[in-house]
Structure 1
């Protein structure tokens, strides 16, 4: 049913209109029953549609889990991203939602950024092109995207309040570009503002961003929503163009916005504009006719195949040297008798990062399990973890804990008031050791003034000493077999990084447990203070007595091949905090070098979402970056290892030799409430090339199992004007003996410039899959914008140019910057990475071009 939105707005009261500008719950907007306007449900996120549940809290519904953002960046595959978008649009609808809080297009400014895994790349064009394609796919299913986080949220440090200081040229050329492409080419129906301030003004109330640039320049017609719990002022946000504040309860919109309109502090036209934008978007989606729908788990075979194909397409073969005149990869299984699979992530393969991007996948696949299945009984696949890399003690697994009635998990009994009150309010169930209660999610649980007791019966397989741990959000005590073992209530511990910065540092104790015997574990929690969640994370881990590295080395020496799976976890790489170092956690570097010394046929798989130190890479013949590859990761890795698929990925971000070489070093993550983007436009490969700094592996790098030749490009016209594009045709041939994948990358390099510019910048790319001997021709177009830089200088237009052209000079405070193309020669570099250029074309621009005219 089509609604007359303007007529609807005219009939609504100020209070009803204001109600629409804020959330009713954590994951839904407010309904207006008088006009049959339903609540609209939103859901995270980039790696899968989780549904209306906060990660780690409450019972989640399983969903498709696709590879993380950096893995998708590594695909360099625009059509694939649209396919993934269609699948996530379908999954979003299955969760009863109409808005997907994705994609994340912040940039890899520093490899230490805690959410690097969630973002596509260090390169703004690659990020924007992939995001636009993903958005088109999602929105084709009647689901709006909210490209995020707009803008300058490229670290987790003090993210709620920090001031990102970015000059106008850097802002336009680098950090705004992915959002611009998401709007102009992707048609995104939503934008999510970031928490931080941008040049002194919170992004949620920054009119230059939300109105001048987003709407007036880019033609954005969708809605702008805050990040969750973002702070702002009512008047400032309304004037700037913010449409929706999330989640409930409101802090600046809703009843506060109604009061501001009634008191004349906010123009009612600003309120009407926000409501019109929201209702028009929901009408366009068909959401105004929706009936409430319970979240469903839809596990489709085609979605599994797509996730597997995406993971394969993301894997970057960094190094593949020959041993005994043969490359280790793909594995030659002829005569293969044994494989040592070593490393902490071989059995516990990490498929996603932490924070709001977490989902409960339909299933998980571990690399070692799939390898055993595929190699069969003829090859002995043996395993040693080689050590522990957990940042905190692993959460108690559902397989080792039962409720008193024998079902898996913890029984949680909620009582009224403090510990002196035994009046029971309700009972809830938690499947594992993450025992958090949220009033909005758990029926019968109040917002404050209660306490609870969670009881679980623990059974372990090995007798010995165990670490039992507690990370609390509110004061808790942990009792084992009736004895107090961890006390986080008598003295409140310091705050740590867990639970988005709300959790405490980890408290631990060593306990003795007997195999096969039930041990009663009780968590007592004081929830009398008012906050959004109460409880704790309870962990348990066996204390190793033998040296795990020694055992791993002994195994490696006994086997034909050693496969070492190293990496991080969703605790090390997560929303809420940045990493402190590039180093692999634990003793993993020692493990790699010791195994490689024991077995010359050593392959290392790097299971991370962001770059790590790879100073050890030259010590091993083969290295492959496999990222956080989603639910089908195990199958995809083994497909590539066995040569049933070609490693299709290329690095979307540079792997540096050392952290001190990185562009933001010295200006990351910030200090005294401010972060200065001092490297300017020189992000990623632009920085290393301009500063002549060596790197471990360059942007765009990635090997195939075959060999490609990029032929001499053909160009119809080597001159360009303001209304003319240059078309370049590039022949590519697979000259090897296997089918494979190549990514052709096109960079523009100005020979001279009126401003300091990077040596070259990525302006186009194309991915091809070719059979042995097959050739194809890639056609790319370059427009004047691809040669331009942002000129923020008013004095150029008002004073300097009139002196040359004879125009009358004038100075206006309202004049804006503009895209400028210098006259001169430009080299078009065509290659397979930023460091491996195969061909070159020269383009001449005879006259300076002002693209605003």
Structure 2
């Protein structure tokens, strides 16, 4: 495929104005002078968005509008869910990037996404998402890096450094304890302060201190009773005072809830706009004497300072959204996919020997349309993508027959018709009208790639979000004769006509709310239409917005005629082939922003499909195309299992290269795969109830809980196999003792003793022998990825600073008073056992022996070294 580029003018933006050209000629703009030149109303205006994706401009002083874009796996541009005209590079999802254990690679990915953001005329990328995998059921787990704060923080820091090197600010999100989608806009996350500091705040701390994050996005949730967007201890205290953060704090979309409280707590920007609580409301609060104008100055100064550091005041972008498919971006996206895929099990069947193959069965609902990204705000329109079916057929060539069978249906909602199926690949022609009856002059014409269309904000210049309608028309040529199922999901009012006949009508009888479109759209309704293969029909979608919906959208789904023999055809294909490759998984309906998963089960009849295919062909490889762990009760029936994640636009080709042994699977598990959901440490405290989500497992979240309690798991944290073998030599430490302020260097010899080039991740877990306070048994404190040729050796160096041995102590400043100053009964009886309580909260070191466990995963530990911390110390610098 030849890389291409096209551009589209963003709604409401023209080319560079005379003022913009004049501003650029003036050179560097002084943020302080700009601030001093503003009126109170102008300053307040900057504290709220101008619209869905930009900040206001103040033309009087030459201050430009700054545009922002989602998201974590690509710079999407202004369209929601990638349903607009602009395309972007789609990199592997967050969990996949976490699985790379390779911050240096992720930094290069960040550079690429910074370049992509520039092509969308944006100077802020709303990423990375660094909440943690507290439960396998978290709806946005695929978007987050891992269950471990150190791994998540290191990956985030690399991502941030890369993006910001291109003059693009990042917004690490969602700050903090926003690890579930259940009641996400109202839930109260109840977390004890020690767990908060050691587990959930730690990734953000690393992102700020090591990554230099210029932006932080607050969560929708409350934290211990206070909304995150107005949490002074969180924003002004921990973020700014403890960590030295000098950037800006922005709300998640539509989450602001107060004016004075949020401003004084440390919030800078309400999005989207115009804002209800910031903007003019903040100016009114100053005039009412509720807040000082100097406090507004501080807010504006912080934002102007960031825009200045980025060079965005002089060059905010020209408003164009360009789609530039660069060959070097494809190469990097594929490398990231290869480095993320985790070989969970291999009984000698992988890599496949292409020379010995005659027939291959490629089976599964994700085999011909791999899920390359999750649902919600992370979704985008990729420059291009391929299916595993196409990639494998191309790799194997004409000499190998690759038979494909779907096996079963898995969709929560029926798949939309792709552009390739409509009007000869042109998609739908959309005519937009002012008003709700699709009458009068056509205000705008657009082309949409498929039968899912969504607008978040004005659909085009001059149209209001709740007062427009559209008509979308396209030709569909069926490939099969029989009863075709058409479905409709709507956020607003919609109907579907086939050859002029109303087939589905959501105007007259609007269906109830469902889970599509961030749980803001209706449930799916369905009807069947008898069609003849090769005979084109006209599909017409009629739509009218409705004020009850925050967004506007419609999805028409399609299912061709299928018999009950889907499963049997798959079994037959497996039986008649040299090897069966199953590509199973979820999709953007099951794993999405807006709702959590209900179980770890693969949707539909995929478990049965796997079992039957394995019975038919003992040489079966299962590729799990999900963003989170799933149950694998069929594990022992398989020869190999490969976790592909949502691997981005290059996932299919990366998968083909790994299956055929051209590349070593480079990923390691960033989250534990449990046997059952009932075994997870958060079980019983997830996703919450009665508006409260208790983090009852405390420090024992994720692998810390399984390991400390000696619970069995399906696959442990850090697990991942290679096609070659590595030997770890005896490790050495720079010193057998450790004191505050030092850095301990651990050197581990590693040699590739196999006959293939391969990848290994050296992991170090620290275990305190006699902790003063309760601590998890072992915790990841350092890791390093290496790529070695056959026979090659390297000495891996891992640095351990004081935080590798430290813990947070909440302290008890009133303890001494209670012991010594109260008199009465409290002093008349023995005090009881226990250590002396500290009076100042902070990070502390305990003197004593610590074991450094070196291995390939948490469970596969091959060496152990003892280190003596010589003296108690603390509180350490925060």
TM-score range, shorter chain: over 0.9
Give yes or no for the alignment of 1:140 onto 2:144: no
Mapped partners of 1:401, 1:313: distance in 2 = 36
CA gap of 1:465–1:800, structure 2 versus 1, over 3 A, is same
Aligned residue number for residue 333 of structure 2: 307
Q: For residue 410 of structure 2, what is the aligned residue in structure 1?
A: 389
What residue number does 1:839 align with? 863
Match of 1:751 in 2: 769
Using the alignment, how far apart are the partners of 2:442 and 2:42 within structure 1?
A: 38
Which secondary structure state, in structure 2, belongs to the residue aligned with residue 772 of structure 1?
A: coil
Instruction: Show the counterpart of 2:384.
Output: 363
Map residues 231-250 of structure 1 onto 2, 5 A cutoff: 231-250=256-275
Q: Is the 8 A contact 1:19 1:254 kept in 2?
A: yes
- 1:319 aligned residue (327, 345, 348): 345
CA shift digits 1:686-735 (9 cap, x unpaired): 11112221100000000011111111111231111112222211111111
- Equivalent-residue separation in structure 1 for 2:286 and 2:554 (angstroms): 42
Counterpart mapping for 1:480-495 below 5 A: 480-495=498-513
- Do the aligned residues in 1 keep the contact of 2:92 with 2:337 (CA within 8 Å)? yes
1:221-370 map, 5 Å: 221-290=246-315, 291-321=317-347, 327-370=348-391
Structure 1's 420 and 792: CA in aligned 2 closer, same or farther, altered over 3 A?
A: closer
Residues 386, 91 of structure 1: alpha-carbon distance in 2 compared, 3 angstrom cutoff: same
SS at match of 2:865: strand
User: CA 1:422/1:708 → structure 2, altered by over 3 Å: closer, same or farther?
Assistant: same
| Residues 445/3 of structure 1: CA separation in 2 closer, same or farther (3 Å cut) | closer
Residue of structure 1 equivalent to 2:6: none
Question: Which of 102, 109, 124 is the matching residue for 1:84?
Answer: 109
**Which residue of structure 2 lines up, in the alignment, with residue 515 of structure 1?**
533
Match of 1:537 in 2: 555
Which of 239, 264, 281 matches 1:214?
239
Q: What is the count of residue pairs matched by the alignment?
A: 834
Q: Residue 409 in 1 paired to residue 430 in 2? A: no
CA contact (8 A) 1:475 1:525 kept: yes
Aligned runs of 1:728-743 on 2, under 5 Å? Answer: 728-743=746-761
C-alpha distance in 1, partners of 2:721/2:678? 27
Match of 1:662 among 673, 680, 684: 680
2:359–2:403 Cα contact (<8 Å) kept = yes
SS in 2 for 1:288: coil
Provide Cα deviations, 1:640-663, integer angstroms capped at 9, x if missing partner.
111111111100000000000011
Aligned to 2:47: 21
In 2, distance between residues paired with 1:848 and 1:802? 24
Matches within 5 A, 1:770-789: 770-789=788-807
Report what 1:807 is aligned to: none
TM-superposed CA distance for 1:518, in Å, is: 2.6
Aligned to 1:525: 543
Using the TM superposition, give the Cα deviation of residue 600 of structure 1 relative to its aligned residue in structure 2, in angstroms: 1.0
CA contact (8 A) 1:726 1:782 kept: yes
Q: 1:702 — aligned with what?
A: 720
Give the C-alpha shift of residue 154 in structure 1.
0.3
Q: Give the CA RMSD over aligned residues.
A: 2.0
**1:816 shift after superposition:** 5.4
* CA positional deviation for 1:103: 0.8
Structure 2 CA distance for aligned equivalents of residues 585 and 314 of structure 1: 23
Aligned to 1:808: none
Contact in 1 for aligned 2:518/2:592 (Cα 8 Å): no
**In 2 relative to 1, CA 78–797 (structure 1 residues): closer, same or farther, beyond 3 Å?**
farther
Residues of 2 paired with 1:796 and 1:776: CA distance?
53
> How far off its partner does 1:253 sit?
0.7
Is 1:750–1:827's contact at 8 Å kept on the other side of the alignment?
yes
The equivalences for 1:561-710 within 5 A come to: 561-710=579-728
Q: Equivalent residue for 2:3?
A: none
What is the alpha-carbon distance in structure 1 between the residues aligned to residue 165 and residue 518 of structure 2?
Answer: 33
Residues 462, 514 of structure 1: 8 Å contact kept: yes
Q: Is the 8 A contact 1:449 1:530 kept in 2?
A: no
The change in CA–CA distance for 1:237 and 1:420 in structure 2 (over 3 A counts) is closer
Q: How far apart in 2 are the matches of 1:245 and 1:506? A: 34
How far did residue 52 of structure 1 move? Answer: 2.2
Assess, with a 3 A threshold, how the Cα gap between structure 1 residues 527 and 301 changes in structure 2: closer, same or farther.
closer
Matched position secondary structure for 2:487: strand
Whole-Å Cα distance in 2 between the matches of residues 448 and 308 of structure 1? 41
Which residue does 2:453 correspond to in 1?
Answer: 435
Aligned partners of 2:445 and 2:86: how far apart in 1? 20
Q: Secondary structure at the match of 1:640?
A: helix
Which residue matches 2:10?
A: none
CA drift at 1:257: 1.0
Quote the residue 1:153 is aligned against.
178
Give the secondary-structure state (helix, strand or coil) at the position aligned to 1:152: coil
Partners of 1:330 and 1:108 in 2: CA distance: 31
**Shift, 1:378, TM fit:** 1.4
Q: 1:499 deviation in Å?
A: 1.1
Corresponding residue SS for 1:795: coil
Query: Given that residues 385 and 650 in structure 2 are in contact (C-alpha distance below 8 angstroms), is that contact kept between their aligned partners in structure 1?
Result: yes
The Cα of 1:756 is off from its aligned counterpart by 1.7
Q: Distance in 1 between matches of 2:207 and 2:85?
A: 30
Q: What's the counterpart of residue 18 of structure 2?
A: none
Change (3 A) 1:418 1:637: closer
Counterpart residue number, 2:225: 200
Aligned twin of 2:67? 41
Secondary structure at the counterpart of residue 169 of structure 1: helix
Residue 462 of structure 1: aligned partner = 480
User: Which residue does 2:873 correspond to in 1?
Assistant: 849
User: TM-score when scaled to structure 1?
Assistant: 0.95
Change (3 A) 1:280 1:772: same
Secondary structure, counterpart of 2:356 in structure 1: coil
The whole-number CA distance in structure 2 between the counterparts of 1:174 and 1:454 is 49
